[in-house]
Structure 1
Amino acid sequence: MDALRHHTIREQSHRILDPFTDEQLATLGRALRLPPGATLLDLACGKGELLCTWARDHGTVGTGVDLNPAFVAAARERAAELGVDVTFVEGDAGGYVVTPPVDVAACVGATWIGGGLLGTLDLLARSLTPGGIALVGEPFWRCDPPEAARAIGDFRTLPGLVAAVQDAGWDVVEMVLADEDSWDRYVAAQWLNLRRFLDEHPDDELAPAFREELSTAPLDYVTNQRPYLGWGVLALMRRP
């Protein structure tokens, strides 16, 4: 299956490719107290909403990197729409390091690019100025899930997530967490995207997989994901 095309279709109506609402993303930007001219790097940036809206709201500048051509095109259109000083690079974010170093380096919801949370933090640190802030977005278990829910992934609890980054030498200096409503807006909106695609392209090579997903995903989500799985962004500063 063409994974990039799969994600492009499923998330075609989304600007934020994580379970954050516009307000939650804005809350995170305000919480960091970024001065005008602060420099940002966003790895696996998706459609660039973080970089674009923070540039609009706080006068920051930055670079986003993503492998998906459709997402990069959407990010560039968004930057042009808002008239902001943001650059987007189409390429593999894994191993991407920027010079000169930046004030904020982010990987929000794609820590697989560094082989997991701690590997991604090491990658982000290579682009950070001393005293800079790393942002990581990660799922976590809100409570002990049933075995069926564990099939979603091997996640830490929120205390386990915080302990892991602290043990790796980082201070947690801020956080903003998703909630059930913002999960709904991210996940449930994909079902309508799938249905409309199936109606318009019933013979597409992806149609069987999308039909299967639409037939099973809503019940699985409300049973095994919505009650148990959290997600949030941690803001971290490396200890001196």
Structure 2
Amino acid sequence: MEGIPEADLPRSFTIRESSHRIHNPLTGEKLAVLGRALGLPPGARVLDLACGSGEMLCTWARDHEISGTGVDISTVFTARARARASELGVADRITFLHGDASGHVAEEPVDVAACIGATWIGDGVPGTVRLLQSSLRPGGTILIGEPFWRREPPSQEAVEACHAGSREDFLPLAGLIERFGALGYDVVEMVLADQDSWDRYRAAQWLNIRRWLDSNPEDELAPAFREELSTAPVRYTRYEREYLGWGVFALMRR
């Protein structure tokens, strides 16, 4: 993968999101809303699979005195997560592991098991829910981050601009809620991205790319990044911003 160690993210991904603390279209404020909405008690144990740079675990440990473990395949992001835990003074309660989250099960049952925006680790929502359930204590809560259609995409071009192969890859919001129910779970909370938080996520990528290009004009990735920066803002504002939604859903087994 572009000259980086085995079992890691492509270098292009970590460059694109080099300034991000949250690798999805939730802002820090929305992440805090989610933590408060769940009513996390001190000492609650949280498992976060595909945890990225660990902002959820670190800020919730600071704000709610939880403990937890994060697992991510990126060496860059797990290093950032450990640094963030030290910065916030929670490194004694939060552990970050580099590894493939798709096979990770907690050694002891946890109160909250999360996969925020990476349901490919379970080959989709049903498999990811099963994986998270295997680490959860009875009565615990699953957190799933997943896209949905805000509006029906008008064309295949719009579908592909929203990172889907077909309309069937995503559901409308009500359909996604129904899908969770069909799996045997109640949806007990949700926090949704809005267009402003999508802007913060996507636009920050463009600035990261431009700064990287200015410093690395001869790198082998430069031509692809130059093309991306030339096309991504228009594609995003024309399609993704209008048609693609995203949210985190809290589920409890029936």
The TM-score with structure 1 as length reference comes to 0.98
Within a 5 Å distance, the mapping from 1:78-117 to structure 2 comes to: 78-84=84-90, 85-117=93-125
Could you tell me how far apart the structure 2 residues matched to 1:73 and 1:193 are?
19
1:122 to partner: Cα distance: 0.4
Where structure 2 has 5 or more consecutive residues not aligned to the other structure, the ranges are 3-8
User: Residue 25 of structure 1 aligns with which residue?
Assistant: 31
Cα RMSD, aligned residues only: 0.8
**Residue 8 in 1 paired to residue 17 in 2?**
no
SS at match of 1:166: helix
Aligned equivalents of 2:29, 2:247: Cα separation in 1: 14
Partners of 1:96 and 1:4 lie apart in 2 by: 21
- How far has the Cα of 1:4 moved from its partner? 2.4
- Give the Cα–Cα distance (whole angstroms) in 2 for the partners of residues 60 and 155 of structure 1: 33
Question: 1:175 aligns to what?
Answer: 190
Match in the other structure for 2:55: 49
- Which amino acid in the other structure matches residue 158 of structure 2? A
Equivalent residues, number: 239
Identity over aligned pairs, percent: 65
Q: Distance in 1 between matches of 2:115 and 2:10?
A: 18
Is 1:220 the counterpart of 2:235? The answer is yes
Shift of 1:7: 1.0
Matched, 1:184 2:193: no
Partner of 2:5: none
Q: Secondary structure at the match of 1:47?
A: coil
- The 1-side partners of 2:60 and 2:10 are apart by 26
The equivalent position to 1:118 in structure 2, one of 122, 126, 131, is 126
Question: Which residue is equivalent to 2:138?
Answer: 130
Residue of structure 1 in register with 2:66 after alignment: 60
Q: What's the offset of the Cα at 1:160? A: 1.0
After TM superposition, give the deviation of residue 155 of structure 1 in Å: 1.0
Match of 1:201 in 2: 216
Q: Report the AA paired with residue 71 of structure 1.
A: F
How many Å separate the matches in 2 of 1:205 and 1:93? 29
Structure 2 equivalent of residue 139 of structure 1: 147
CA offset digits 1:110-167 (Å, max 9, x no partner): 0000000111000000000000000000010011111121112121111111011100
- After TM superposition, the score normalised by the length of structure 2 is 0.93
Show structure 1 runs of 5+ residues with no match.
none
1:210 corresponds, among 219, 225, 250, to 225
4+ residue runs of structure 1 moved beyond 4 angstroms? Answer: none
